[in-house]
Amino acid sequence: MKLSEQTKELISKALAEDIGSGDYTTLWSVPGDHRTTARIIARGTGIVAGMPVAKYLVTRFDPEPVLESATPDGQITTAGQVVIELTGLTRHLLSIERSLLNFLQRLSGIATLTRRFVDRVEGTGVKILDTRKTTPGLRELEKYAVRVGGGFNHRLGLYDYVLLKENHISAAGGITKAVQAVKKANHRNLPVEVETCTLDEVREALKAGVSRIMLDNMTVEQMKVAVELIRNIDARPVPEIEASGDINLKTVMEVAATGVDFISVGTLTHSAPVLNLTMIIEPGL
């Protein structure tokens, strides 16, 4: 992953937020010439994500610390395994500890949860998608973590994909009018998706002609019927089909079995538990 300037600025702000005018605990207790090796160790099993962030953060604070080794993103780590090893001035390593762990734990947690969803639907051909339910300012990184875990990104923002949801449809006067208005204005040739909650809405979306139809908060039986309707239309290309709405690890396989193409899961980014990591330093060099 190549970090954008926006993400680099975010990392710098995270360091400034934590260190402020100075890490006085470290400055007042640790000798300035004290050197050490620091190891970030996993306290559980999960998928590592965030190494590009770690490498930039380490050098952003001070070019002196050396990242001796790092577990590649996407690799499984188990409890007790060393994820990162750093050497340098102890003051520097202790001052970046929390910011470094915060990023790695968050991103690795998202990758780990995503992998669990991906594994549940293995063999079905269904792709697991994220949503825009991300931590403000962290979207680029959190969506990267989803990809590390084997998932796919839905849309990065409001600018790269048209998704007509309930409120858009209501304000426009219905699915047909909403789609017609978008098609008339769509000089960017963006894909157009419509959210549907009933079979009648699916039929209307099919007549309107869209790239993808979202089956939102439908029962499994409704989804099966909807998929049959969509797959059997005469028009080509057949719209892609996305399922959405509080889908969890217990229900995702049943939803996948309905024949949809995608399942979007907001939980991936808004409720993923962190992968527990800790940093331990040697007495000194």
Share of the chain above pLDDT 90, in %: 92
Mean of the per-residue pLDDT values of the chain: 95
Residue 180 burial by Cβ neighbours in a 10 Å radius (0-12, 13-18, 19+): middle
Contact 80, 42 (CB under 8 A): yes
To the query of whether residue 133 is one of the catalytic residues in this protein, the response is yes
- The one catalytic residue in 130, 193, 216, 242 is 216
CATH of domain 119-270: 3.20.20.70
Contact 205, 168 (CB under 8 A): no
pLDDT at 237: 86
- The one catalytic residue in 142, 195, 201, 242 is 195
- The one catalytic residue in 43, 116, 133, 147 is 133
- Whole-model pTM above 0.75? yes
pLDDT at 235: 72
pLDDT in tens, 225-277: 999 999 998 877 899 999 999 999 999 999 999 999 999 999 999 999 999 99
pLDDT in tens, 79-115: 999 999 999 999 999 999 999 999 999 999 999 999 9
Query: Does residue 27 carry a pLDDT above 80?
Result: yes
pLDDT in tens, 136-183: 999 999 999 999 999 999 999 999 999 999 999 999 999 999 999 999
To the query of whether residue 254 is one of the catalytic residues in this protein, the response is no
CATH of domain 5-118+272-281: 3.90.1170.20
Same fold, 5-118+272-281 and 119-270: no
- Residue 66 pLDDT level (bands cut at 50, 70, 90): confident
- Residue 285 pLDDT level (bands cut at 50, 70, 90): low
- The one catalytic residue in 13, 165, 177, 183 is 165
Q: Tokens standing for 37?
A: 């090796």
State the amino acid at position 188 in one-letter form: R
pLDDT at 196: 98
pLDDT at 284: 65
- The one catalytic residue in 8, 98, 147, 224 is 98
3-class DSSP assignment, residue 69: strand
Query: Does residue 62 carry a pLDDT above 80?
Result: no
Phi/psi of residue 192, each to 5°? -120, 125
Query: Does residue 63 carry a pLDDT above 80?
Result: no
Contact 165, 244 (CB under 8 A): no
3-class DSSP assignment, residue 98: helix
Nearest CA to 137 among 15, 18, 14? 14
Tell me the C-alpha distance between 124 and 256, whole Å.
7
pLDDT at 189: 97
Domain residue ranges of the chain, discontinuous segments joined by +: 5-118+272-281, 119-270
Residue with tokens 């090893």: 85
State the amino acid at position 48 in one-letter form: V
